[in-house]
Chain A
Amino acid sequence: MKVQDTVQPAKGAPTARSAKPKSKWGRLWSDVVRDKYLYVLALPGILFFIIFKYIPITNLVIAFQEYSPYFGVLGSPWVGFEHFARFFSNNDFWMLLRNTLAISFLSLIFFFPAPIILSLMLNEVRSSLYKRTIQSLVYIPHFLSWVLIYGLTYLMFSQSEGLFNKWLVSMNWETIDILSNPNYFWGMLTAQSIWKEIGWGTIIFLAAIAGVDPQLYEAAVMDGAGRLRRMWHVTLPAMRNVILILLILRLGTILDTGFEQIYLMMNAAVTNVAEVFDTYVYRVGIRQGEFSYSTAIGLFKSIVGVIMVVTANKLARRYGEDSLY
């Protein structure tokens, strides 16, 4: 508070320097000159995006070609929307869309808020030793590969060897067929993701919470706010910015489902609920070397992502929140 008071008069100081009335271009130029060091700061990043993102991105035009390495991007024949038509007219398109969306929405509803809740819970722990111990434990699964997690899941839930089923048998109950039952598949994927990433996800939120001014808590206590209310009125707002950005970005990748996890967990019995765009692209596009076709599918996903992000951003702005851009 104190700091801000002293600073207040300085506001507008930079603009004061270029107060002279000027043409539009002249103002633009003087603004750019004024902020030259900011551009210098941004330059490495901009170069990075141009070289390693934009130059490769131009290659996406092969979605409209029958790409052949021999002719290259410049020489391959154009086929218009043929690959898109093939994709949309595929008998399985609706199944793929349904599964992708189902898995994605489950993740949005259960997986996305999980680390937020965990961060809030951790923030309420008084004993710093206990807090650190729990924190260090829950973030470890992030480092385990999906192959390993597949192995562990098999160890826990398979019918012949699974610990869970062995326990059921010892209680004289029927074993449950979890890994090859279509009804459990989506739930299991969501649970696996939460288990793997919940702790890791807290890092970013705890960093946001770390920025909260302790005075705000003190003030809230004075006002007689209980812990739940303090959580709601002080801690959560501090994380709002981060949550919103992450949420909008997540919506942009609504058609991405995490290829490796699903590919490993998939088996013949659950194909109908497990096949998603990503596994389809892998099988059809990459293994069979159909670059143009798989690029077209990727482009479709991107365009859906653009629509989602733009809409979400508009909504955020309408409700007076900070938006992404």
Chain B
Amino acid sequence: MKNTERKSPKSLLKMTLLLLLTSSLLLSACGGGGSGSESKGNEGGTDSNEPTSITIQTLNYATEFIDNTNALWKELEKETNTKLNITWLSPSTAEEKINVMLASGDLPEVTFVESMQNPQLQKMLKQGVFWDLTPFLKDYPNLNRDELKEMWDVTKVDGKNMVIPRYYPSYGGGIFPMVRKDWLDALNLETPKTLDEFYNVLKAFKEKDPNGNGQADEIPYTANPGSLAYIYNIFNETQGSWKLQSDNTLSPIITSEESKEAMLWIKKAYEDGLFPKDFAIMKFSQVMDTMRSGKAGVGGMSMNHAWVTGKSVRDVDPKADLMPLSYLENANGVKYTPSGSPYYGVYLIPKKVPEAKVKKILEFFDYGYSKEGNEMLTYGLEGVHYTVENGKKVSTPQAAIDKTGDGNLNNMIHLVSDDMSISAVGMPDDVYNRNVEIVNERKTVKVPNPSAELYSEAYNKYYPEISKKVEDMRVMVITGKESIESYDKLIESIKNDPKMKEITDEMSKAYQEKYVK
């Protein structure tokens, strides 16, 4: 009796021990991580008939990830003669995981990084961890498409193409006012073109009962401090946090006189009750929730939200119509609209990948950026996943089965089209056509973005702290908890801060090295 009772714990213990022991043996066998410990896989490109295996790590926005049993995946492998080994990253984890991968030197053959500004990445680029692709690129016609020229240009590091950018349109993204067109119509108001007109619209939303329920329950503009950053850009007439001076140096807009005016504009609006009472403490998701509740007249969003969020508002209020503004003019008559570099995220190939395989990988991307491959990744195959009716692609039930265009493969290489930023699944034609008009109007507005793609060590080290101080102070002044004098004092101290001078010098130098030749 005793024996049988005792046996089970012993064997369990044994099992645990064995597990731990073997684990420790394995550990000593592998030894110190660092670079280059990844297995080489099969050396690509030696035999041109054999499919090349490529390991890729990239984002996936879908709820269910596809694997190599998926029809489109197979099609992609067939077209590019590859055997794909894709590690999908869920967007909730991507940033942390990418940082761990970079820091551990544990890099797949094709590594995705969301932002070129990632400080780890910047260091590694300087250290030559990744292939310089410049000499190879000319051999791949689709990578040299006209539409892609700009993205290759702006992502150069020291004049070399070290990254394969993932396309994303310049216009249509970014936070900018989205207005309830039905409220404008109800009050017979014109679409605002200037900041002053915009202010008057907000005031009318507050006072004139645009939803017609007889109560003053409207929130003219659902916003938190972070979503109003563009107001500072309108006043400063530049994108980003830096303004180009006539002597080819950059100056930070955080300390400019214009920024103070912008803050006072927001303060006045706050005091007039144009923002929610909890403006100072709202998270972005709460800002969006207020919009979706149908109580707000304006919210800051990218253009595709005309439908992504517009649809939710319509569930609550069937007349609701969300319309993005094209641009806003400041008092000097200078127009502003948000725009960015025409890519989002970059792919890199570590040096440990043999040259033959680098070419194979570029071939893979060449297919992905070809018109045919590009559309296949997003829409699937004609006749199988979609049919063309009146020039529009209509998806078939098979599209859902093979998970076409749901954030899986279409996210690996984006569709080269404005639709990326202005369209959304299920968007009605009238909303879509209006968005096309608006984005074309936005494209006529060119606002300089001198600090895009610049990197400075000092900026990375010190700027976030400085800017947080100023942003906090702005909120305090706007909500009346601090005086304008203390704001002035803070700005003065930052202007005299040697760290700020170091940042400014480095940024100016980085600008001149990149753009002034």
Contacts and interface: CB of A to CB of B under 8 A. Distances in A.
Contacts of B281: 154, 158, 179-180, 267, 269
A147 to B, nearest CB: 9
B221 to A, nearest CB: 14
B278 A283 contact: no
Interface residues of A, number: 34
B104 interface: yes
Contacts of B20: 43-44, 47-48, 51
Nearest to A66: B123
A159 interface: yes
A72 B17 contact: no
Q: Classify the secondary structure of B's interface with A.
A: helix
Contacts of A289: 99, 103, 118-120, 460
Interface stretch (B29-37, B197-205, B330-338, B378-386): B29-37
Contacts of B17: 43-44
A153 to B, nearest CB: 10
Contacts of B308: none
B103 A284 contact: no
Nearest to A48: B20
B124 A160 contact: no
A47 B24 contact: yes
A129 interface: no
Interface stretch (B186-194, B421-429, B467-475, B501-509): B467-475
A269 B286 CA distance: 18
B318 interface: no
A10 interface: no
A68 B127 contact: yes
Contacts of A51: 20, 23-24, 27
A291 B105 CA distance: 14
Given A43-B17, A51-B23, A179-B281, A72 B120 contact: no
Contacts of A44: 13, 16-17, 20
B160 interface: no
B129 A70 contact: yes
B102 A268 contact: no
Q: Classify the secondary structure of A's interface with B.
A: helix
Contact of A69 (B32, B35, B471, B474): B35
Interface in A197-254: none
A74 interface: yes
A268 B225 contact: yes
Interface residues of B, number: 43
Contacts of B471: 268
Contacts of B476: 268-269
Contact of A74 (B34, B118, B474): B34
B276 A283 contact: no
Contacts of B286: 154
B386 to A, nearest CB: 39
A55 B17 CA distance: 19
Contacts of B280: 180, 267-269
Given A154-B281, A158-B277, 19 more contacts: A47-B20, A47-B23, A55-B27, A68-B124, A69-B34, A69-B102, A69-B103, A69-B120, A70-B123, A180-B280, A267-B281, A283-B465, A283-B468, A287-B464, A288-B119, A289-B99, A289-B119, A289-B120, A291-B103
16 contacts: A43-B17, A44-B20, A68-B123, A69-B105, A73-B34, A158-B277, A158-B278, A158-B281, A160-B278, A179-B278, A180-B479, A267-B280, A269-B280, A269-B475, A288-B460, A290-B461
Interface of A: 40, 43-44, 47-48, 50-51, 55, 68-70, 72-74, 92, 154, 158-161, 179-180, 267-269, 271, 283-284, 286-291
